[in-house]
Structures are given as structure tokens and as C-alpha cells.
Amino acid sequence: MEKLSIQDASRRLNISQRDVREYIRKGELKAERDPDSEHGRWLVIMPEEGWQDHFKAYLDELDASITRWWWVNEHKTGSVHYLERTGIENVEPDYLCGLSSENLWPSAGHSRNDRCLECLMRATEQGLPLFEEDLTD
Ligand SMILES: [Zn+2]
């Protein structure tokens, strides 16, 4: 098993160091602390060949096509909330307003008033896509 520093892994996988850290945080890349390092730096356990293309294509597709607004209960009451991240890491979804839910339900056809204000504010602040096309009004 090949282990590389974050810097070397970033070069090898052709993604930014920031992305490498982000993927480690999300569990998409495995990493461990270097036992020989004083500062406890991370070593990235290099994934199999093809990982990068496969995974990046997947994320791009997901980001582009899937709304981040979701109902947090099956009765579709309360507000729709904005998922902080898309991707396969969302086993327990976290929303921008800080809410978590164990599951999520599609929000297609919700109305503007259904949107959680806190989520909306933060999404706007961060310049995230708002998926206006999902709205019925
Ligand atoms: Zn919210």
C-alpha cells in the first residue's frame, strides 16, 4: 500500500491539497497519521487507479443535477433545508442551518415559503446554487 504526504498525493491525483484534505475529512480518501512525524502530519493511502476520474465525474454530476433542498420528514411539513454537501458521505445529512436528519425526501415542487430562512441566507452568502427551477412559485 502506497502512502504519500498530502502534497505528493495532491500532485499524483491532480487535485488541490485542499481537496485532498476535504476528501480525507469526508472519508473518500483514507489517511493516517505519520508515526515518524513530530507534527503528526497525514499520510494519504493512495487509492486504486481510476479512483480520481470515477469519483470526480460522480461528484460533478451530482453537484450539477441534484437539488440540495430536501424535506427532512416524510410528511413534507415544516421547511425544506439546504444540504451542506452533496456526495456519498451524506449518510446522515447536515444542513446549512446546522440541522441534521437521518433521512431526506425530495423537495421537487416546493414553494419559496417552504425554504428554511437560515439555510437560504447561508446559501446566498456563500454563493451556492439556489435551484430556483425547483420552485413552484
Ligand atoms: Zn435549514
The DSSP code sequence of 35-91 is TT-TT--EEEEPPPTTHHHHHHHHHHHHHHHS-SEEESSTT--S-EEEBS--STTTT
For residue 88, pLDDT over 50 is answered with: no
Q: What is the pLDDT of residue 64?
A: 62
Angle at Cα 132 formed by Cα 129 and Cα 136, nearest 5°? Answer: 155
Return the higher-pLDDT residue of 108 and 75.
75
No. of helices (H) and no. of strands (E), the chain: 4, 6
Interval between CA 127 and ligand 1 midpoint (Å): 16
Q: What is the pLDDT of residue 58?
A: 64
Q: What is the pLDDT of residue 35?
A: 87
Tens-digit pLDDT profile for residues 18-77: 888 988 988 889 999 988 888 888 999 998 877 766 666 666 666 666 788 999 988 999
Interval between CA 78 and ligand 1 midpoint (Å): 10
Interval between CA 19 and ligand 1 midpoint (Å): 25
Mean pLDDT (the chain) is 84
How many angstroms separate the CA atoms of 109 and 18, rounded?
A: 35
Q: Where are the domains of the chain?
A: 3-64, 67-137
Interval between CA 50 and ligand 1 midpoint (Å): 36
Interval between CA 84 and ligand 1 midpoint (Å): 10
Which range has the worst mean pLDDT, 82-86, 98-102, 118-122? 82-86
* Entry field: residues in the chain: 137
For residue 89, pLDDT over 60 is answered with: no
Q: What is the pLDDT of residue 63?
A: 63
* pTM for the full predicted model: 0.52
Q: Collect all residues with Cβ–Cβ distance below 8 Å to 134 and sequence separation of at least 6.
A: 67, 69, 107, 108, 109, 110
